[in-house]
Structure formats: C-alpha cells, structure tokens
C-alpha cells in the first residue's frame, strides 16, 4: 500500500506528531511505501532512517499559502501514487479533502485533540479514527456519523522513535512522584500542587518532579513558591527523553482535566511505574479501567492526595501497582495500532472500489 501522512509539522513534544511518526515508521517496517508531508521538523531524520519519504507542505494558515499548498499536495498525491491520504490535524484534513475528492482516493483523518472545536472538521474523512472510545463518543455527539468512526486506542511501545532511548534510571530519592507533560492548565497541574501540599504535610520525605515546559511554566513556579512544600518540588524542565525519569520514579501522576489518549501513560506503564491518574477521556482505557493504575476524580486535589498518600504509606502498595501496570500492556504496542489502522485503510479503499497498489517502486 502507498500511504501519505499529512500533518502540520514533525517537531518533537507534540503528542499527535509522536503518534503519527510512530505509525509511519511501523507501516514502513511492514513493507508499505510511506511518506510524510508536513512543514518539517526534528523527526524528519528519524523518518528517513526508517524508510519514510519526506516532503514539504506548508500548513501556515494564510489564504495564499494554503492555496499554494493545496496545489502542491495535488501534485504530490499524483507523483507518489498515493492510495490513502491520512490527515492528523484539522489544517491537514482541510487541505487534503478537495485533493482526495478530485483524485478519487480515500481520506482517513485521526482525531487526536477532540477538545478543540475545530476537531469536527476531521469528519471530512472517508473514515475518522478516534484515539480512544471516549473520543469516539464525543465525536458522535458532535455529529460525525458512527458509520465513519473507528476507534484505535493509542499505543507507542516498540516504536522506532523510542528504539534508541536511554534505559539507565535517573536516581530519585524515594518516595518520588513524577509528572511528565506540557505545563498547561488542561493537565491539572494546579490540582497536583494542591494535592502535593497535603501529601508533603503527611510525608515530608516525598519529592515531586515536574518534567516538561510550556507557556504557563513561570506561573506554576510562582504558585509553588507560595506553598510550604516548595523545597520538595523540582521543576526539571523539558527532556528529549523522559523515560529514564519514569524508570527512576516510584509513582507517575497524571492529573489531567482533559486528555484524549495520552501516549505518556503507555511509556509510564512500560517503565513499570505505579500510576495515579484522573478518570477523564481516554485515560481509563489506557489504564484498563483502573486495573493497571489508580483512577481518581478530576479537579479533586483531596482525592488525588488521598490516593498518593495511601501508596506512600504502604510501600507494598506501590509494588502492587507497579506489577499491575503490566496488566495487558501488549495492547499498547505500536504493532497493534498499525495493524488496526491498515484495516481501516482497507475499508476505505473498498468503499471507493479500489485496491491498494504495490508498495514498490518508491519515488526518488
């Protein structure tokens, strides 16, 4: 099959980019001809090493730019002989829709961030992939026909992106709590800091490590500076590879208010962390409904503090949840994601009365 992925850019630290890069590399590994067209970024070298062709399509939202990009995409689809165009963000779907209509090939669109109003535009796809059942339900409520929707739960274990990562744990004093993600209100960091203030009062030996960065970083540092637990909170900054921090942590915490299907939970489980996370969106699915991690209500610092304190007070409980993190973990492998995605492509091609072309020869 000849597969063209379309996304805004290939810059590290965006979850939808990580998911698209993982999928493209795995599809190439399976013998398909795969290309990525985007505004470029630091994953381009990885994609090339894994046999994925790289093309530039400017996604800047200016009328003249988008018109030129649509024409460039039309030429690329023909030159690459694409069977499928797979769009990963709203601008990509809007660019691809008229081109796919004109050429007569299916457009598959993945909804990564359903909380954005523009996500409804992903309904332009012949098939719409939701990254969790919760996202699928949300998109149905917003008007996307169930006949178009398919759920493929995110998973990243075994991906080419993570193949050469560091596996030596960062030495963290126990009990250590770890958050990895963007420093954004959607991630519930204010709740985490309020909860940790209570945890630290009961367990002054506890330490909280924050790995990540974002536009609200300074505000969060100011917030923590006013807490009695401030000396026990470490802002570690953004890390190109947070996995060693996960390997060194006792408890991974994700207090999100909204999170469609965070890849970070796949990595935290692979690292063997005990996981505490909020019961929102796709998080329960990634934690096997609470069998692979402790689920707490969102926006409830008291409940979060109680769960964390309970684990810290009983080291055997931490070990129990470390073991539980491995429950059905094979579901989170990229091989499963790629296989299910290829099935969706076959469905879409059948709807168009088409068959996939040979993966070879590749374009030069």
pLDDT tens per residue, range 150-194:
999 999 999 999 998 999 999 999 999 999 999 999 999 999 999
With beta carbons less than 8 A apart as the criterion, state whether 2 and 360 touch: no
> Would you call the peptide bond into 60 cis, given omega within 30 degrees of 0 as the criterion?
no
* 63 and 194 co-located in one domain: no
Work out how many domains the chain is built from and give that number: 2
Does 108 share its domain with 220?
Answer: no
**Residue-level pLDDT at 331:** 95
User: Is the domain of 67 the same as that of 136?
Assistant: yes
63 or 108, which is more confident: 108
CATH of the domain at 116: 3.40.50.2000
Using one digit for the tens of pLDDT, what is the confidence trace for 297-331?
999 999 999 999 999 999 899 999 999 999 999 99
Cβ distance 110 to 99 under 8 Å? Answer: no
Same structural domain for residues 266 and 319? yes
107/212 same-domain check: no
The model's pTM: 0.93
Task: Give residue 113's pLDDT band: very low, low, confident or very high (50, 70, 90).
Answer: confident
Rama region for 155: left / alpha / beta (φ>0; ψ in -120 to 50; rest) = beta
Q: Residue 359's pLDDT is what? A: 55
CA torsion angle 106 112 113 118 (round to 10)? -10
295 in the same domain as 337: no
Residue 364 maps to a domain: no
Residues 218 and 144 in one domain: no
Domain match, 322 and 338 both: no
Q: Domain of 273?
A: 176-329
- How far is it, in rounded angstroms, from Cα 196 to Cα 111? 33
Q: Are residues 24 and 64 in the same domain?
A: yes
Q: Say if 312 falls within a structural domain.
A: yes
Residues 180 and 301 occupy one common structural domain: yes
Decide if 48 is inside a domain. Answer: yes
- Upstream peptide bond of 219 is cis (omega within 30 degrees of 0): no
The answer on pLDDT for 363 being more than 50 is no
Does 69 map to a domain? yes
Torsion of CA 201, 315, 192, 138, to 10 degrees: -150
> What is the tens place of the pLDDT at every residue in 117-141?
888 999 999 999 999 999 999 999 9
Q: What percent of the chain has pLDDT over 90?
A: 91
Residues 6+ apart with CB under 8 A from 139: 111, 114, 119, 120, 122, 123, 128, 130, 149
């Amino acid at each position: 099959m000849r597969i063209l992925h379309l996304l805004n850019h290939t810059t590290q630290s965006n979850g939808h980019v990580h998911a698209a890069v993982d999928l493209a590399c795995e599809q190439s590994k399976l013998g398909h001809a795969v290309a990525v067209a985007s505004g470029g970024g630091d994953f381009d070298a990885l994609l090339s090493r894994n046999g994925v062709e790289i093309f530039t399509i400017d996604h800047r939202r200016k009328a003249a730019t988008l018109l030129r990009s649509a024409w460039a995409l039309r030429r690329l689809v023909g030159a690459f002989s694409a069977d499928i165009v797979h769009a990963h963000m709203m601008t990509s779907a809007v660019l691809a829709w008229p081109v796919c209509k004109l050429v007569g090939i299916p457009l598959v669109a993945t909804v990564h961030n359903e909380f954005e109003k523009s996500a409804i535009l992903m309904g332009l796809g012949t098939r719409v992939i939701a990254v969790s059942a919760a996202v699928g339900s949300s998109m149905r409520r917003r008007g996307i026909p169930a006949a178009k929707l398919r759920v493929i739960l995110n998973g990243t274990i075994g991906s080419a992106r993570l193949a050469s990562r560091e596996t030596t744990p960062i030495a963290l004093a126990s009990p250590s709590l770890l958050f990895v993600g963007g420093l954004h209100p959607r991630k519930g960091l204010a709740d985490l800091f309020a909860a940790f203030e209570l945890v630290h009062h009961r367990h002054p030996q506890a330490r909280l490590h924050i790995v990540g960065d974002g536009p609200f970083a300074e505000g969060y540092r100011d917030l923590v500076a006013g807490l009695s637990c401030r000396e026990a909170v470490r802002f570690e900054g953004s890390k190109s590879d947070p996995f060693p921090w996960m390997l060194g942590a006792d408890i991974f915490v994700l207090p999100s208010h909204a999170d469609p299907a965070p890849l970070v939970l796949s990595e935290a489980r692979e690292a063997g962390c005990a996981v505490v996370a909020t019961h929102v969106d796709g998080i329960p699915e990634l934690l096997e409904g609470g069998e692979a991690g402790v689920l707490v209500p969102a926006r409830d610092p008291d409940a979060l503090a109680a769960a964390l304190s309970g684990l810290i007070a009983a080291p055997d409980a931490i070990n129990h949840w470390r073991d539980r993190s491995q429950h059905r973990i094979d579901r989170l492998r990229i091989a499963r994601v790629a296989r299910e995605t290829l099935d969706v492509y076959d469905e879409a091609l059948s709807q168009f009365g088409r068959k996939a072309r040979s993966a070879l020869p590749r374009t030069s």
